[in-house]
Every structure is written in C-alpha cells, then in structure tokens.
Amino acid sequence: MFRHFSLAVAFLAGALRSGGGESKIYVNCVFGKSRSTTFVTAYLMVEHGWRAADALKHLKERRDVQLNPGFLQQIADLDYELEWRRHGGVGSTPAPASQKVADCEAGSRGGGGGEKDAVGRCRPVAMI
C-alpha cells in the first residue's frame, strides 16, 4: 500500500484540480472502508499537510470508515516521515527500517533502480 501512496495522491490531486474549485471525486474499494480510507488519508496528509490523527478524525466524522492494523501502520509511517521532513530531517532516520529505500542516484543498487515519490522519497521501482 505504502508504495502506491505517491501515485494515488498525484491521481487524486489531479482529478480534483481538473474539475475546478468545486470538484468532487469518489474513492472506493471493495468494502469502501479500509483501502479507500487509507488513500484519502494519505492525500490529506501529503497535499494539505494534515497529521494522520486529524485526517482520520475528519474522515470518521463524515463516513463509517475503518483501517485494518497494517494500513494504519503504513499511515503512521507516512505521518512519521512527513513530520520528520517538516522539521528539516533533524535527528533520526526518516523512515522505519521496514521501509528501506533504494538510492535513486545510484540506480540499480536497490535492484531495479528507484524513483522519487510525491514527497521526494526514493522508492525502489519493484518494491513489494
């Protein structure tokens, strides 16, 4: 899921921009509660600078949404990384060890190269 955040955020932002000031989009998944919520939460965090708790509270006030523990952890990881970047990247590593990334400039070191996502992170192209 985490590896798709940048593409999903860019898609949602583009869809909203394409319709003018009053654009609305419909985001859905199989049950409409977990995956869609995860991507909309990531969008609010990346594009609007919201913290994870604020984005989730906002969504829960409007819809019956839920996040499974794995998706919630990925939102928490994104929140950690975005907050780290907001504070100039001072201190510890920006992302948990479970989300090691390839070096974009070095290319193949991560096995297939890397690319920058919506928040400027290097991500392996073939990350699972």
Active site residues: 29
Q: Determine the distance from the C-alpha atom of residue 119 to the mean position of all C-alpha atoms in its chain, rounded to a whole number.
A: 9
Q: Which of 101, 97, 95, 106 is nearest to 124 (CA)?
A: 101
Which residue spans within 8-92 are E strands per DSSP? none
The per-type count for the chain, helices as H runs and strands as E runs, is 4, 2
